[in-house]
Amino acid sequence: KQLFRQVAMIKPNREMIARVMLYSQGFKIAEKLSGKIVSLFELCGDQLSNQPHYDFGLRALKSVLVSAGNLKRAEKDRVSGEESGPEVEKNILIRSVCNTVVPKLIAEDIPLLSKLLSGVFPGSDIIKIEEEELIDCIKDLIKNRYNLLYDERFISKVLQLMLIQSLHHGVMMVGPTGSGKTSAYKLLQDCIQRVRNIKIEVYLIDPKSICKDDLYGRLDPTTGEWTDGVFTGILRRILDNVRGESTRTHWIIFDGDVDPEWAENLNSVLDDNKLLTLPSGERL
């Protein structure tokens, strides 16, 4: 027993963390909103269906609060002066919840979230995404280029992908074969390039078709020489910025089944560190 060191662990006080974050983002009624947003997440965790990709923990709460701060700063001109009251701040937080939580819910859970939202924030409902120019572009491309059937649910998924992608640098699209995942990202790519005039480079990798060393690179045990893999080669080319890569947006897409064999190494890339540490000791 003497050889072991005792460690005490406590559950983090989510309400206090949320309150501090909201105050730091410029919210005046942070004390009131923090209690409501924490109770909403607890209700979601208890009452929504059990899905492997659902997460209503501290990380998800943080992303909602950061998104709310971004929305508040983006709208500070419109909500300045007399209008910047408790109602406006509440609506910004609700919009942030809708932007970050709704895209990852399955269809059956969306009505339940709507009820929970109206219970915690009386009189509120799920806010629809207002991107008229982008929606018109999506409709035009669906009809004239992609020859797809017009469906409101598909359009809403494309818009949700756009929102999530603007909040996070790593996004996972989950769904059965033929559910429109590839069409959604290709459609979004064309729309962003047309409407916002942003050039997007797409790198498509099938991680299951090559071994781990070919994907991430290998270190020669004899010479200690490092050889880049497919993914590390792409990443290095973007970071080196030889041909003006920094002026464009880059999407590296792993198209295939999620397997711990290749997905595990992306943990530090997808979290707040945004770093890939290679066996050679180099960091990208």
Query: 238-272 pLDDT, tens per residue?
Result: 888 778 777 888 888 888 888 887 888 888 788 77
pLDDT of residue 156: 84
Looking at residue 84, its pLDDT comes to 60
Three-state DSSP class for residue 259: coil
Query: Are 72 and 26 spatial neighbours (Cβ–Cβ below 8 Å)?
Result: yes
Residues 11-27 have a mean pLDDT of 87
Residue 64 burial (CB < 10 Å; 0-12/13-18/19+)?
Answer: buried
**pLDDT value of position 83:** 52
pLDDT (tens digit, 9 = 90+) per residue, 104-116?
A: 888 888 888 888 8
**80 versus 144: which is more confidently predicted?**
144
Q: What is the CA radius of gyration of the chain?
A: 22
Counting residues of the chain whose pLDDT is more than 90, the rounded percentage is 0
Tokens of residue 280, six digits = 């050679």
Q: Which residue has the higher pLDDT, 81 or 199?
A: 199
pLDDT tens track for 40-90: 888 888 888 888 888 888 888 888 888 888 888 877 766 554 456 777 888
The confidence score (pLDDT) of residue 77 equals: 61
Q: How many CB atoms lie within 10 A of CB 149?
A: 8
Q: What's the mean per-residue pLDDT of the chain?
A: 83
Asked whether residue 96 carries a pLDDT value surpassing 80, the answer given is: yes
* The amino acid at 16: M
Residue 176, pLDDT score? 83
- Distance of alpha carbon 142 from alpha carbon 155, whole angstroms: 9
Q: What are the b/e assignments for 35-63, b being 16+ CB within 10 Å?
A: ebbbebbebbeeebeeeeebebeeebbeb
Cα–Cα distance between 16 and 34 in angstroms, integer?
A: 8
**Res 262: pLDDT:** 81
Q: Is residue 97 predicted with pLDDT exceeding 70?
A: yes
pLDDT at residue 13 above 70?
yes
